[in-house]
Amino acid sequence: MSTAPLTSPDFTSTDLQLSAPGSMALPAIRNIGYGDLGEALRMGWEDFKAVPTHAIMLAMIYPVLGLVLARLVLGYDVLPLLFPLAAGFALLGPFAAIGLYELSRRRELGDQPSAWHAFDVLRSPSFGAMLALGCLLMILFAVWIAAAQAIYVLIFGYAPAASMSNFAATVIGTPQGWSLILIGCGVGLLFAVVALCISVVSFPMMLDRHASAHEAMLVSMQAVAKNPGPMAVWGLIVAVLLVIGSLPFFLGLAVVVPVLGHATWHLYRKVIEPADRPYRAPAQPPKGRRYAADFPVSLFTGRRPGR
């Protein structure tokens, strides 16, 4: 089994995923300052301006999902879960932004990315690892929603809220409501810290170096441990921007999410030493012309009969 370092030209993602823990040479982790966070956001904004159509197409998933969830909550008298659902988007954001990382990666290489390049991440050798970590974040999201529901039932019982105004008045104007806010925010903070530690640079690293989910999470936790202050501020920046983007019926997320996605890639570049050989997706063979007379044979052969 190969034990070559990550920068070896013969090293593959399969080697990394099958190797025993600790057998790989991990990439060097840099110390960053608070100014690097602002620089990452600036570069993320530049990426967003350079490819606004692509970013908006990807980010529109968020406001649409937010509106659907809001209507579902209002229609089924589960108002107590409205805020936990909105806040939980931050747990899934690193996985949902993998297409944005691909756009930033291509711009970094000097390419001119098109809308379809965001979906090239599906052909990445490490897409399986990304999917595995994404599933872990989804489980974390589900546990957070269950915990939020349990906290509400513990304080208010099973009686549903009569209306939105009644629910808001109860939460803001009663001691039980303030207990719900304090306990809920405290527990939510724990979930956010876990998500930050395991995913802050994990997905960009898997895309860039084809690391396994285990290796990427290990490096991500080491990056947080080496830069606790800047990483804590980064998590706060992400939370504040997501709240601001969520206020006008989630529509602001169409800008906030892509900017944060691109900025996360640049934060990864500042924290992790670059690989010697940047990954480039293999060129796709040109598709030949097909004719109606070849149907349905062309569906199985991929080429014109007799050629």
Provide the whole-model pTM. Answer: 0.76
pLDDT-derived band at 298 (thresholds 50, 70, 90) equals very low
In a domain, 285, yes or no: no
Query: How many domains is the chain built from?
Result: 1
pLDDT digits (tens, 9 = 90+) for 18-69: 333 344 567 889 999 999 999 999 999 999 988 876 556 555 666 666 666 6
Its domain, for residue 191, covers 30-274
- Tell me whether the omega of the peptide bond preceding residue 296 falls within 30 degrees of 0, making it cis: yes
pLDDT digits (tens, 9 = 90+) for 196-224: 999 999 999 999 999 999 999 999 999 99
More confident of the two residues 59 and 299:
59
Rounded to whole angstroms, how far apart are CA atoms 212 and 228?
A: 24
In a domain, 58, yes or no: yes
Phi, psi of 112 (to 5 degrees): -110, 90
Vertex 235: Cα angle to 209 and 39 (nearest 5): 70
pLDDT of residue 46: 93
In a domain, 18, yes or no: no
Helices and strands in the chain: count of H runs, count of E runs: 14, 0
Longest dimension (CA), the chain: 81
How crowded is residue 118: how many other Cβ atoms within 10 Å of its Cβ? 21
